[in-house]
Amino acid sequence: MSTISSSTEQDVVAKVPKGLFIGGEWRDATGGATLPVEDPSTGDSLCEVADATPEDATAALDAACAVQAEWAATPPRERGEILRRAYEAVVARAEELALLMTLEMGKPVAESRAEVLYAADFLRWFSEEAVRIEGRWATAPNGGMRMLTMRQPVGPCLLITPWNFPLAMGTRKIGPAVAAGCTMVVKPAKQTPLSMLALAQILDEVGLPDGVLNVFTSRSASKTTGPLIDDPRLRKLSFTGSTEVGRQLMRQASENLLRVSMELGGNAPFVVFEDADVDAAVEGAMVAKMRNVGEACTAANRFHVHASVADAFTQKLAERMGGLQLGRGSEDGVTVGPLIDDDQRGKVRDLVEDAMAKGARCVVGGPERIPGVPGYFFPPTVLADVPTDARLLAEEIFGPVAPIATFETEDDAIVAANRTEFGLVAYVYTRDLDRAIRVIERLETGMVGLNQGLVSNAAAPFGGVKQSGFGREGGVEGIDEYLSIKYAAIRAE
Ligand code: NAP
């Protein structure tokens, strides 16, 4: 039985502006082109949004550049209070934003609600950071001058976000950019533009001055962002998405030597030692694997479990995964939504079939299509005895599949965990404190979850190493991405 009526769903979609948000105004794309937004649980179209042209994208940058100096000079407290009001407005509208997100992205409403609150937290956190942009004052060692160091907004930014966390990946960039005094152009993913458009509407309503935030949606990301990256007025590119696209954007951004932040793909190992609390590890595994239907850069991609506890862990995880309920995210009791599109489902299926062809044993779920169900569903799957040459140990799965491999020694576990080009996050389960510290120090990742399956927090520096990118979002570090350091040498006799 549906908990949310279809008229409520339609109302939530109808309320969102569908145009381009440029210079504080909503407008159609030049030529009036639109692109469809699909509900991945049915494959039906929800609505159409504007399909920006390269000229529209440039108009968005024009608007950002026009108010950059004025915005940089706005008192930090004022910038912070706008963010605070935005935080409150997002929380007040959490239910409708959650439903909107579920409709365009597919995850269960409870998870969307959690993302909305997580997203709002970046607005609150950076509302507090806006007034703590500090500098330094020092006397030169020889006493001959004073040294003043200040931090200033980097300038107009281009922020490109993915579809998997349609709101939080935006506020993680918009929050610090607003706090720092930068203006910006935001391009959300074409599959999930509605959450970002709703956020732009909220920021407008709470008094963000015209032109500080500009949003365009487009069928062709490269054609519309390319001219902006090449434009000498742009000073910063912050990208969250795949490593492949990140590399391409880095190359483009090198021409103008843009400041760049890259939040890219992951391949998180989830390591369970023989001294771990196996029940707690299974609990953490469910969060690390199944948050966002496995479509998270932080998703546990592969499980390395000590051979002595592997059977118990596998059996308990399979029971939990097998007990999840697939369905439309807005329906009662549903705990797993669809994948974002048919391509993604096909990729997950290929990876599972490859592992099984190489000897992996399917404990629950599997690659067979679910008959008679529309939408892009893939069943929660646990694979045991996964051989080291299985592709899904090396590639980002981005789906509800848990491959389990075993290890014998701590060294073997660390070697296996680090055997990847990625380095975003790792999860470790152990009750031995000495081991925990040793392992945390040797893991080649930007983040580690110790005895817990979730690391994301607005107050923490989120980000990776190796091919997972660089730059940090959240924490006291997050605002640095949007600030440049200026030093003044002051003559003093
Ligand atoms: P994606 O294909 O790289 O797309 C991400 C964004 O970049 C979208 O807005 C996309 O626009 C745009 N884009 C694609 N090609 C582009 C190009 N040539 N020039 C400019 N923009 C371009 O990634 P995705 O499939 O949306 O997201 C999943 C990936 O994001 C995964 O690899 C995941 O690990 C990663 N991710 C990383 C983090 C992190 O913090 N490290 C967080 C979340 C997700 P269109 O959608 O309109 O094509």
**Residue of the nearest CA to atom 43 in ligand 1?**
297
Band the pLDDT of 369: cuts 50, 70, 90: confident
Query: How far apart are alpha carbons 277 and 297 in whole angstroms?
Result: 25
What distance in angstroms lies between residue 126's CA and the mean position of ligand 1's atoms? 24
Distance 242 CA to ligand 1 centre (A): 5
% of the chain with per-residue pLDDT over 90: 97
pLDDT one-digit tens code per residue, 189-240: 999 999 999 999 999 999 999 999 999 999 999 999 999 999 999 999 999 9
pLDDT per residue over 66-109, tens digit each?
999 999 999 999 999 999 999 999 999 999 999 999 999 999 99
Query: Average pLDDT of 240-244?
Result: 98
Would you call 297 a catalytic residue per the annotation?
yes
The pLDDT tens digits of the residues spanning 407-422 come to: 999 999 999 999 999 9
Q: Is 263 a catalytic residue?
A: yes
Q: Whose CA is nearest to atom 37 of ligand 1?
A: 264
CA–CA separation, 235 and 332 (whole Å): 46
Residue nearest atom 46 in ligand 1 by C-alpha distance: 189
Enumerate the β-bridge partners of residue 48.
36
8 A C-beta contact, residue 144 and residue 492:
yes
Could you report the per-residue pLDDT of 13-41, keeping only the tens digit for each?
A: 999 999 999 999 999 999 999 999 999 99
Q: Which of 35, 104, 160 to mutate to test the pocket of ligand 1 (most atoms within 8 A of CB)?
A: 160
| Averaged pLDDT of the chain | 97
Report how far residue 207's alpha carbon sits from residue 11's, in angstroms, rounded to the nearest whole number.
25
Q: pLDDT by residue (tens digit) across 109-142?
A: 999 999 999 999 999 999 999 999 999 999 999 9
**pLDDT tens digits, one per residue of 422-460:** 999 999 999 999 999 999 999 999 999 999 999 999 999
Catalytic residue, chosen from 115, 297, 473, 481, is 297
Closest CA to 21 of 158, 215, 186: 215
Kindly report the protein residue whose alpha carbon is nearest to atom 10 of ligand 1.
Answer: 189
Q: Which residues have any ligand 1 atom within 6 Å of their CB? A: 160-165, 169, 187, 189-191, 221-222, 225, 240-242, 245, 248-249, 263-266, 297, 396, 424, 464, 468
Q: What is the pLDDT of residues 295-304, one digit of tens each?
A: 999 999 999 9
SS3 label, residue 185: strand
Instruction: Give the separation between CA 470 and CA 180, rounded to whole angstroms.
Output: 19
Is the pLDDT at 1 greater than 60, yes or no? Answer: no
pLDDT at 2 over 60: no
pLDDT of residue 371: 77
- Confidence band, pLDDT 50/70/90 cuts, at residue 4: confident
For ligand 1, mutation pick of 118, 247, 264, 447 (most atoms within 8 Å of CB): 264
